[in-house]
Amino acid sequence: MSKYFLTTAIDYANGDPHIGHAYEKIGADAIARYRRQRGDDVHFLIGMDEHGQKVEQTAAQQGVTPQVLVDALAARFSAMWQRLGISNDQFIRTTDAMHRAGVRALIERIFERNPDDFYERAYEGWYCVGCEAFKTDAEILDGKCVLHPTRTLEWVEERNWFFRLSKYGDFLRALLLDERGFLQPESRRNEMLALIDRGLDDVSASRSRLTWGIPFPKPLSSGERQTTYVWFDALPNYLTATGFPGDRGRATWPAQLHIVGKDITRFHTIIWPAMLRAAELPLPDRVWGHGFVLLGGERFSKSAGVRLDVDEAVARHGADAFRYFLLREVPFDGDGSFSFERFDERYNADLANSWGNLASRVIAMIEKYRGGVVPHGAPDDQDTADARHIAAYHSAMDGSRGFLLHEALQHAMALVTRGNEFVQTTQPWQLAKQMDEESRRALDSVLSSLVRQLARQTVLLAPFMPSKAQEVWEQIGGPGLVTAQRNDRLDDLDATGWTVTKGAPLFPKEARSTG
Ligand code: MSP
Q: What is the pLDDT of residues 355-387, one digit of tens each?
A: 999 999 999 999 999 999 999 999 999 999 999
Q: What is the pLDDT of residue 514?
A: 46
Q: What is the pLDDT of residue 209?
A: 84
pLDDT band at 305 (very low <50, low <70, confident <90, very high): low
Average pLDDT over residues 383-411: 97
pLDDT band at 515 (very low <50, low <70, confident <90, very high): very low
Give yes or no for residue 260 CB within 6 A of ligand 1: yes
Give the residue from 4, 513, 468, 497 showing the smallest Cα distance to 258: 4
- Whether pLDDT at 250 is above 80: no
CA–CA gap between residue 452 and residue 2 (Å, rounded): 29
CA within 13 Å, CB half, 350? 24
Q: Which of 264, 293, 295, 326 to mutate to test the pocket of ligand 1 (most atoms within 8 A of CB)?
A: 264
Residue-wise pLDDT for 141-193, tens only, equals 999 998 898 889 999 899 999 999 999 999 999 999 998 899 999 999 999 99
Q: What is the pLDDT of residue 302?
A: 57
Map 422-476 to HEC letters.
HHHHHCHHHHHHCCCHHHHHHHHHHHHHHHHHHHHHHHHHCCCCHHHHHHHHHHC
Give the position, in ligand 1's atom list, of the atom nearest the Cα of 293.
27
Percent of the chain with pLDDT over 70: 97
For the entire predicted model, the pTM comes to: 0.95
Distance in Å, CA 289 to ligand 1 centroid: 11
CA–CA gap between residue 154 and residue 149 (Å, rounded): 13
Average pLDDT over residues 88-104: 98
pLDDT band at 1 (very low <50, low <70, confident <90, very high): confident
Q: In the chain, what are the domains?
A: 3-308 (3.40.50.620), 319-492 (1.10.730.10)
Percent of the chain with pLDDT over 90: 88
Q: What is the pLDDT of residue 304?
A: 59
Give yes or no for residue 238 CB within 6 A of ligand 1: no
Q: What is the pLDDT of residue 511?
A: 53
Distance in Å, CA 146 to ligand 1 centroid: 16
